[in-house]
Amino acid sequence: MSEHSQEEAHTGPIKTPKQLLWYSILAFVLPVFVIIGLVYFVSSDNKKAPGSNMEQSVAQRIQKVGLVEVRDANRPLKSGAEVYQAQCAACHAIGAAGSPKFADAAAWAPRIKTGFESLWNSALKGKGAMAGQAGGDHTDIEIARAVVHMTNAAGAKFPEPKAPAAEAKP
């Protein structure tokens, strides 16, 4: 009798194949439905109805990604003084962020010694707090003219760059 009671003591709640089938279904299917229900509950919280602001949503989806600007290559080049007033005076007129002031010979002297090409390269690519000026509203030649205008006002004798010669078309 002790043998029989030990066997029953070690058996689980599943006694028939039918019970095994139901437990298996509940063990795998029930958690799936619980997870789906939780996902639906979390994701359906305070959503606006579709089409509530159709014009704004369409405008956001079709907004511009980039911009193409076509410039007139035949426009006359601006003088160094015009480019200085438009692009450079904001900082160089007051000496902002350590920039040499316009016509300050002492501040410009060490820079002038490096030569025009070095100064022009610094203006195009940027140096210190000054951002690069290439690719902006002015051509590289116009930036060069502004560099000449500023340095010549401080005592340099750089010649003003001329417009590049037009390419001969066959």
Residues 150-158, mean pLDDT to the nearest whole number: 83
Strands 126-127 and 130-131: antiparallel
- pLDDT tens-place string over residues 70-109: 767 677 888 878 888 888 888 888 887 788 888 888 888 8
Q: Which domains does the chain have, with CATH numbers?
A: 80-153 (1.10.760.10)
Confidence of residue 3 (pLDDT cuts 50, 70, 90): low
Q: What is the 3-state secondary structure (H, E, C) of 22-35?
A: HHHHHHHHHHHHHH
Confidence of residue 168 (pLDDT cuts 50, 70, 90): very low
Say if residues 66 and 125 touch (Cβ distance below 8 Å).
Answer: no
Residue 51: what pLDDT? 56
Give the residue among 137, 55, 147, 164 at the shortest CA–CA distance from 102. Answer: 147
Query: Does the model's pTM come out above 0.75?
Result: no
**Distance (Å, rounded) from C-alpha 40 to C-alpha 144?**
64
